[in-house]
Amino acid sequence: MSDYEKRKQENIKKNQALLASLGFDKPTLEPKEKIIKKAPAAKKRKVSEDTSDESPAPREVKAPRATLADSAPESGVRRSSRNAGKTVDYKNEIVDRTPVPVAYSSGVKGTENTGPMGREDGKRTHDPKTYGSIPGVEVGTWWEQRRGCSADAIHAPWVGGISGGKQGAYSVALSGGYDDDVDLGYAFTYTGSGGRDLKGTKQNPKNLRTAPQSSDQTFENNFNKMLKRSCETKKPVRVIRGYKLRSPYAPSEGFRYDGLYTVERAWLEKGLNPKGYLVCKYAFKRLPGQPALPVRSAASEAEASEDTADEDEQSAEEEVEETKDAEDAVKDEDQTTGEEVEDIEDAEEMVEDEDQTIGEEVEKAEDAE
């Protein structure tokens, strides 16, 4: 096993243990076929009230949607990990599988996205600089491209992974940029931004949008600061998953809105780069009362992992099992409700003790709310 692989596994193990200590709702606890049609009662409503500055989203105010025929390009390169690079005829394909049965859109396995499509372009009808859900955009909505997420106000930046303001991040994108991030669906770890050399050297100037790690990340970085702030304010963060993410919860194509999460932890650790530069890491946990996450089918995963080592691609079941083990190791705790797991101090201390490079002080933000 290579050194890289060894360190990767170490990081992943540590991240998994931390996620397990958060006590998130697990998919196995939710009836997969069951669709939650109405906002279920007090719990969810409370969340949206607490977490959104805006007035509650009126259901009838739907963001205008382009029809599939309108939004579909004539042809193009598929944004998919399964069919990367293949030229496809979108109109034919989309018409073939339209309409998408709504019954699919909440957690049934499928090789294709089952939720509704958003707009791929156009003028915004909502402000992305808000906390919480966007009126008219339901969890599970997906887009072929990042610009679509931006047009529908779910995630504004076309490239950047983090968007946010004074009270924390509005949204983040999971797109597989970091190999040691762990995605358990209902919780995940995320790596901050910065520490990359996008401009190259003077002799060899570049104009890149992403690049390998070349220095330490810090919480001074604005985006990293925002996410740390999210950890303090517990403002909900919209999350999109992209097809490039290596996870059973990644969509097989495009970018999917997976609902609201909170940031539960923020710390520093050695990243998976050759020099061991520090990266800012965060642990996210999904808010309860949302539609179940779709899981990639075995077939889809098999295709996706055709060229990669088998061990790299885990089935959702395996991940869940490992999580359970990790949970048992961390703490024997009742997970059946998944609601009131606030006594996480023990687990927290334990993790902190393990991690020497943990961030010290969460500096108090001067700005009053």
Q: Name which of 29 and 198 has its Cβ closer to DNA.
A: 198
To which residue do tokens 């669906």 refer?
185
Contact 242, 250 (CB under 8 A): yes
Name the residues that contact DNA, by CB under 7 A. Answer: 76-77, 79, 84-85, 128-129, 145-147, 150, 156-165, 173-178, 181, 190-191, 193-196, 198-199, 206-210, 221-223, 242, 244-245
Is the CB of 342 or the CB of 367 nearer to DNA? 367
Nearer to DNA, 11 or 106 (CB): 11
108 neighbors 33 (Cβ within 8 angstroms): yes
CA distance 132 to 235: 8
C-beta of residue 335 within 8 angstroms of C-beta of residue 324: no
Minimum distance of DNA from residue 349's CB (angstroms): 26
Minimum CB distance to DNA, residue 210 (Å): 5
**Cα separation, 174 vs 119, whole angstroms:** 20
Q: Rounded to the nearest whole angstrom, what is the least distance from the CB of residue 152 to DNA in the complex?
A: 11
Query: Looking at beta carbons only, is 186 or 190 nearer to DNA?
Result: 190
Backbone phi and psi for residue 298, each to the nearest 5 degrees, phi listed first: -60, -40
What is the chain's percent helix, strand, coil content, to nearest 5? 25, 15, 55
Q: Rounded to the nearest whole angstrom, what is the least distance from the CB of residue 131 to DNA in the complex? A: 12
| Cβ–Cβ < 8 Å for 225, 286 | no
Nearer Cβ to DNA, position 38 or 123?
123
User: Smaller CB distance to DNA: residue 117 or 330?
Assistant: 117
Min dist. Cβ of residue 336 to DNA (A): 31
- Closest approach of DNA to the CB of residue 295, in Å: 19
Closest residue by Cα to residue 330 from 4, 7, 2, 13: 13
- The span from the CA of 278 to the CA of 288, in Å, is 32
Helix (H, G, I), strand (E, B) or coil at 258: strand
